[in-house]
């Protein structure tokens, strides 16, 4: 018997979060190799979670202040020089997260379900995972990125 959808989404969020943290640790050397600003900071101005439930894909991309002007491509992470810098990571948590995302998405093929709605649920889980304050704290602490830590005033997010 399947878990209720709410529990599946929570497991999806937790799985994606674990993969993000593992990827950031595994690619720490890559991140710290990025040329620093005159103040010694990494010029990272954006991080994108690449989540493709229909292809079973998950990755992270970085946008740098030096990437500008990107014009229309500013928000198109596939055009960023550090697109999917996580490709080739070996952490088992990545495959586990992809498996959960794909399982939830494929429920959209069942009668009474919709693929778009199931994809939306995985995107929401991904958004909660990438916005988890621990992600910003990890980047701020280990990688010395000046990032904003978002705090949920209602205490809804983990």
Q: Are 151 and 132 in contact (CB under 8 A)?
A: no
* Sequence-ordered list of residues with C-beta below 8 angstroms from that of 20, at least 6 positions apart, any chain: 49, 60, 129, 130, 132, 135
What is the chain's pLDDT, residue by residue, as a tens digit (158 residues)? Answer: 578 889 999 999 999 999 999 999 999 899 989 988 888 888 888 899 999 999 999 999 998 887 776 566 677 888 888 999 988 999 999 999 999 999 999 999 999 999 999 999 999 999 999 999 999 888 887 555 655 555 555 555 44
pTM of the model: 0.86
| C-alpha–C-alpha distance, residues 131 and 118, integer Å | 20
**Which sign, positive or negative, has the C-alpha torsion 65, 149, 145, 28?**
negative
């Amino acid at each position: 018997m399947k878990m209720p959808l709410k529990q599946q989404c929570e497991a999806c969020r937790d799985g994606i979060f674990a993969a993000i943290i593992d990827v950031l640790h595994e690619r720490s050397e890559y991140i710290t190799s990025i040329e620093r600003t005159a103040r010694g900071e990494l010029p990272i101005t954006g991080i994108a979670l690449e989540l493709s439930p229909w292809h079973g894909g998950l990755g992270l991309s970085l946008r740098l202040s030096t990437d500008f002007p990107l014009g229309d491509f500013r928000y198109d992470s596939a055009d960023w020089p550090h697109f999917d810098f996580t490709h080739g990571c070996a952490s088992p948590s990545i495959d586990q997260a992809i498996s959960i995302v794909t399982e939830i998405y494929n429920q959209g093929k069942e009668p009474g379900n919709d693929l778009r709605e199931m994809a939306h649920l995985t995107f929401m889980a991904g958004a909660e995972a990438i916005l988890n304050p621990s992600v910003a704290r990890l980047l701020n602490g280990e990688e010395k990125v000046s990032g904003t830590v978002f705090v949920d005033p209602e205490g809804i997010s983990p």
